[in-house]
Structure 1
Amino acid sequence: MPFNHNDHYHPYLLRQVPPTARRALDVGCGTGRFARRLAARGLEVDGIDPSAEAIGVATALGGERITYRHADVTTCDLPPQEYDFISCLASLHHMPFSTVTRLRDALAPGGVLAVLGCAHPSAPRDWLPWLAAVPLNLVARAVVYAGERLNGGVDPLPTAPIRDWTTTMADVRRESAELLPGSTVRVVPFWRYVLLYHHP
């Protein structure tokens, strides 16, 4: 897939970072693309991923103010109330949804948890944005493909492992309402949803 659906939402997710944020955690950071964008905004970033290969690539690519960690966020120690911003891009479906409680507890007061997730549609309101994205996706793929041909080929970096999911949007709405009171869940184009939680 030459058009990266997750990268498309980086600018939107960066706008969710609190203005006074100093520390960030990027869960499922992969090769560190979003972590580097957070660091470029002046944040101290911890990137965590269970893939040793991905962490190796991220570390090799470097980046100031970033610490990468090969670990499983469902079992590793997370300091309480430490992070002003926690991102979780297309990785929550690799773990129990209840992991959001660990991330919630790691948020500093006033911090934001931003999840860009994958789930199966449950209602017509879920299908509409995704069906509308089909022609946009074809155009975006064509543009990216043409750009790659003009610029010498595809990005040689490995991509993070991809896993299918069984979660539905009904599951996401129900569990986020229970575990993250006050959170918002919105279906967005390109077969994703965005969950935002603002810590009191």
Structure 2
Amino acid sequence: MAFDHNDHYHPLLLRQVPSGAATALDVGCGTGLFARRLAARGVVVDAVDPAREVIEAAPPAMGVRYRHADITTMDLPEAHYDFVSCLASLHHVPFETVRRLHRAPAPGGVLAVLGCYRESTPSDFLTSLAAVPVNAAARLALSRRPQAPVRAPVKPPAMTLGEVREGAARLLPDARVRRLLFWRYLLVSRRP
């Protein structure tokens, strides 16, 4: 299917990039579409993914350095990046990994997580109900778009949105978590 929920939110994520950003880390980069969009803005991007097949399928791009690595174990520089993104990949690792990611932005930098959550409350199901017809219309409208030949591995999220909010409040007290329409949330934390 050509409509991709994560790609749909790229403009929202790009609005989180601080003015004058020069460096970024894209965690769970897949085949690198978002990393390339960051690089098109003049940002040098370290794009990391644990799935070798998607890194190998990622097209080369000026300003993007692809790396096959596991974010939970790789050497991650602290206070280094102007922007750190994590698109639909935090639920593949322990949520506490967000603390490591939070230390990676330099002062004034931003951590932006586009995450997936497990539906559990009436509010979740109402949001889902509202998303279904919009999702169907978008998929129908975009059904003729070519699909990526290699897709990143997927895993259903284990944490509810409430658990994500609780975890964020415990680990990143300055973070804001906002529910989004297509079974996603946006977590943003800005380093002072």
Same structural fold, with TM-score higher than 0.5 when normalized by the shorter chain: yes
Taking the aligned partners of 2:117 and 2:73, their CA distance within structure 1 comes to 23
Question: Does structure 1 residue 137 correspond to structure 2 residue 135?
Answer: yes
Task: Say which SS state the counterpart of residue 97 (structure 1) adopts.
Answer: coil
**Equivalent in the alignment of 1:192:** 184
Q: Aligned AA for 2:4?
A: N
> Paired residue for 2:124?
126
The AA in structure 1 aligned to 2:28 is G
The reply to whether residue 94 of structure 1 matches residue 92 of structure 2 is: yes
* 1:9-48 matches, cutoff 5 A: 9-48=9-48
Counterpart residue type for residue 102 of structure 1:
R
2:83 is the alignment partner of 1:85: yes
Partner amino acid, structure 1, of 2:159? T
The TM-score, its normalising length taken from structure 1, stands at 0.92
**Residue 172 (structure 2) aligns with:** 180
1:130/1:188 contact within 8 Å kept: no
Cα distance in 1 between the residues matched to 2:177 and 2:150: 30
Deviation at 1:156, TM superposition (A): 4.7
Q: Is the 8 A contact 1:49 1:70 kept in 2?
A: yes
Per-residue deviation, residues 110-138 of structure 1 (Å, max 9, x unmatched): 11111111111343333333221111011
Percent of aligned pairs with the same amino acid = 57
- 2:81 and 2:105 in contact (8 A); partners too: yes
- TM-score for both structures, normalised by structure 2: 0.96
Task: Report the Cα distance in structure 2 between the residues aligned to 1:131 and 1:108, rounded to whole angstroms.
Answer: 39
Code of the residue aligned with 1:34 in structure 2: it is F
Using the alignment, how far apart are the partners of 2:87 and 2:184 within structure 1? 10
Give aligned pairs, total: 192
Q: Which residue of 2 aligns with 1:162?
A: 154
Query: For residue 4 of structure 1, what is the amino acid of its counterpart?
Result: D
Q: How far does residue 54 in structure 1 lie from its aligned partner after superposition?
A: 0.7
Bigger helix share: 1
- C-alpha distance in 2, partners of 1:74/1:92? 10
2:22 counterpart letter in structure 1:
R
Please say if residues 38 and 45 of structure 1, whose CA atoms lie closer than 8 Å, have aligned partners that are also in contact.
yes
Aligned match of 1:151 = none
Contiguous gaps of at least 5 residues in structure 1:
149-153
